Amino acid sequence: MRILLIEDNQRLRKFVREGLKLEGMAVDHFGTAREGMAAITTVSYDAAILDLGLPDGDGMEVLRQARSQGVQAPVLVLTARDGIKDRVDGLNAGADDYLTKPFAMEELLARLKALMRRPGSALGATLELANIRFDTIAREVQIAGKVISIPRRELDLLEHLLRRAGRVVPKQWLEDELYAYGDEVSSNSIEVAIHRLRKRLDGANASAHIHTLRGVGYLIQA
Ligand code: CA
């Protein structure tokens, strides 16, 4: 999962970033409205966390503009303001939820996960293909009824492939989805993860297989 964090307070940004990383999320983080706006309109994020008071503008304006440009990612607004008017304005501008500072990391995570699980979003379902069953909320995979353990990065990879089962998923797209800016990604990171995941699935007698289309990407099919 790839999250955008726009918050100008460096300490808070670090705190939130670390908390999200511990949950296995890839985080792109910025401290200005300008950078945040550029990121939210160019990358397809699973969710964004947006501070309202930014040094070069109002987060509310970022939100309004992003929505007007068709950005659909759920947005959780962070603010020190507690007025009802701000809350209403934020929701009107397209925020999905609101969190007033100070907050506990647990609460932020719970709210964020709830936003990403909303019906209608691509997340939160059980994915099934042949004898593979992936519960995307519990992050648990069963093959032929048996739970198999899969490391987090490979799990994310499998989820992306299953959501597009039978279709080619470009390698570059997977790289963008699984790694944040600044993560160290070697040229064969995805290949290595695919290789391991394929061995794991075959070893558990999965009746769907991952195919490589050299130079293009990957697809999973029964
Ligand atoms: Ca601020």
Per-residue pLDDT tens digits for 7-25: 999 999 999 999 999 999 9
Q: Are 144 and 205 in contact (CB under 8 A)?
A: yes
Per-residue pLDDT tens digits for 24-56: 999 999 999 999 999 999 999 999 999 999 999
Expressed in angstroms and rounded, the spacing between residue 96 Cα and the centre of ligand 1 is 19
Positive/negative CA dihedral, 160, 161, 165, 168: positive
Expressed in angstroms and rounded, the spacing between residue 198 Cα and the centre of ligand 1 is 45
Expressed in angstroms and rounded, the spacing between residue 49 Cα and the centre of ligand 1 is 12
Expressed in angstroms and rounded, the spacing between residue 79 Cα and the centre of ligand 1 is 7
pTM of the model: 0.57
Q: Which amino acid is at 15?
A: F
Per-residue pLDDT tens digits for 149-184: 999 989 999 998 987 777 778 888 888 888 877 777
Gap between the Cα atoms of 195 and 212, Å rounded: 10
